[in-house]
Amino acid sequence: MTTTSADRTLAVFVPGWILDDRSLAPPTVGDLVETVLAFDPAQSPPASYAQTFRATARPAYGRMPGNDPETDLCWLHEVSGDGWAAKWWANRPTTGRVEVHGTLVADLAVGSDNPVPVRGRVRRVRLVSQLLERSSTGTRLVGGTERLTEVESTPHIFWSSQEPRSEDDPYVLTGVLVDLDLDDVPATDSEFVAGAVSISGSDVWVMDRSDPVLLHVDTAVTPPSVVEYLLPLTVEPTHEHWTRTVHADADGCWITSRHDVFRCDRDEDGSLTVERVCTEGGRSVVAEGRLYLFGPTEPIMLDDRRYGTVRVDPPPHPVRVLDDARRLSAVDDPATVARVRAAARRADVARGTDGTEWIAHGRLTARSPSGTVESVNLDARTRGRVRWIRPDPFADPANAGLVPYLRMPTPASDTTPE
């Protein structure tokens, strides 16, 4: 059948192995469910619950293709409809309106190419069972033999070890099919997710895991006062515990990432002056008042979205320091290099001079030396003013020789003929 957006109800198959993983709670009618979706093209014969979707496809630009056993190559896309979006591996690049036949499946894979999760209220739950065929070479699930049994809630069983009930009933449970009402959901609030923390005296700085939101927590007062600063930074993918590191000091803090370095100075009136210092990044340490960036000293293997798994050689100077002119210079002194590397820490944990350990893991907690753990209320906060100092590459003396080639000459004004 062909789906329509009249009632905005979406059928989603939840495989049993995802329920075994406990990444998604067993759905019950009335539950609010949020999950990333993947589109699974129909096989031959198709599943009994396969549907035809009219949607819009957009390739994951800059991502290398994958391998499909049947078509050899496939490219990752985002395919989206009314109120939903899903990952789709297509056997050729496609852009624009498409009509595809298959099933939307709950997915656990993480990555920057994931679509926005779908949110819906469970209106219907059906157990899916499938014929298990045995042969001399093993067993296989037979496509097109799915049976659906309506229930109020998903049973708590270990799906991966399901066996046929008897020789006369050679069907096994494979998952559940849930109907999600996309309209009966609360509006999504912008939630602060603590990802990185640093402390200097009574000043605690907390960075959101993904969004360009920085909080200043003043612990000198009870309860602590919290001020939110919306920074001129990019939004980063959310598949990591943190995407930036914060280094607090008496005047404010440094914010570093693998892409750049920013300086934030807190003024007397409580406003924050923000300036991008450089467009290079890496792991970072502040030692003796200096900001250091450092990288690997040996070759490493990384998963690159454009090339797959690749070897990355270490940079010529694995440790660099930000000098007084706010330029990065190489550090070759072995003792300094060793001291900088030894000072490296996790971005989501900071320790105060009194021994209190601050942990930014979704929320902000403080563990005292005695072991008492308290959660800091970050919801009661005020909005702070941000002053953004934008770098002007045309005014940088280092670019003086380049500017004449970059600027267009001003056309001469027309003269009035006599």
**Tens-place pLDDT, residues 367-405:** 999 999 999 999 999 999 999 999 888 888 888 888 887
| Rg (alpha carbons) of the chain, rounded to whole number | 28
Q: Tell me the two tokens of residue 76.
A: 């990752």
Other Cβ atoms less than 10 A from the Cβ of 259: the count is 15
Q: Residue 403 belongs to what H/E stretch?
A: helix 403-406
Q: How far is the C-alpha of 84 from the C-alpha of 183, rounded, in Å?
A: 11
pLDDT for 5 equals 46
Where in 21-170 does DSSP place strands (E)?
A: 32-41, 51-59, 66-68, 72-81, 84-90, 96-107, 118-135, 138-141, 147-151
Q: Compute the 3-state secondary structure of the chain and give helix, strand, coil in percent, each to the nearest 5.
A: 5, 50, 45
Cα 338 → chain centroid: 32
Give me the torsion for CA of 38, 43, 45, 51, rounded to 10°: 30
With b for 16 or more beta-carbon neighbours within 10 A and e for fewer, the 316-332 pattern comes to eebbbbbeeeeebeebe
Q: Tell me the two tokens of residue 293.
A: 């960036």
What's the first-to-final CA gap in the chain, in angstroms?
A: 78
Which distant-in-sequence residues (6+ apart) come within 8 Å of 25 by Cβ? 31
Q: How far is the C-alpha of 245 from the C-alpha of 261, rounded, in Å?
A: 10
Identify whether the C-beta of residue 383 lies closer than 8 Å to the C-beta of residue 228.
yes
User: Does residue 59 have a cis bond before it (omega within 30 degrees)?
Assistant: no
Q: How far is the C-alpha of 148 from the C-alpha of 144, rounded, in Å?
A: 12
Q: Tell me the two tokens of residue 196.
A: 């990185």
Q: How far is the C-alpha of 260 from the C-alpha of 247, rounded, in Å?
A: 14
Give the strand pairing for 382-383 and 225-230.
parallel
**Tens-place pLDDT, residues 88-122:** 999 999 999 999 999 999 998 778 889 999 999 99
Angstrom distances, CA of residue 39 to CA of 30, 77, 174, 193, 382: 24, 10, 17, 29, 42
pLDDT for 263 equals 97
Q: Tokens 């006062």 identify what position?
A: 225
pLDDT for 9 equals 94
pLDDT for 412 equals 60
According to DSSP, the residues that pair with 291 across neighbouring strands are 286
Q: Is 409 helix (H, G, I), strand (E, B) or coil?
A: coil
Give me the torsion for CA of 115, 119, 120, 126, rounded to 10°: 60
Tens-binned pLDDT, residue by residue, of the chain (418 aa): 454 445 789 999 999 999 998 889 999 999 999 999 999 999 888 999 999 999 999 999 999 999 877 668 999 999 999 999 999 999 999 999 999 999 999 998 778 889 999 999 999 999 999 998 888 788 888 888 999 999 999 999 998 887 887 777 889 999 999 999 999 998 877 789 999 999 999 999 999 999 999 999 999 999 999 999 999 999 998 777 899 999 999 999 999 999 999 999 999 999 999 999 999 999 999 998 999 999 998 999 998 999 999 999 999 999 999 998 889 999 999 999 999 999 999 999 999 999 999 999 999 999 999 999 999 999 999 999 999 999 888 888 888 888 887 766 656 655 555 5
According to DSSP, the residues that pair with 283 across neighbouring strands are 294
Identify whether the C-beta of residue 227 lies closer than 8 Å to the C-beta of residue 215.
yes
- What's the one-letter identity of residue 80? S
Give me the torsion for CA of 95, 101, 106, 108, rounded to 10°: -50
Per-domain residue ranges of the chain: 9-181, 194-392
The closest of 174, 126, 175 to 153, measured between CA atoms, is: 126
pLDDT for 1 equals 45
According to DSSP, the residues that pair with 114 across neighbouring strands are none
pLDDT for 4 equals 45
Note the helical H segments in 256-342.
334-342
pLDDT for 414 equals 55
The one-character DSSP state at 369 is: T
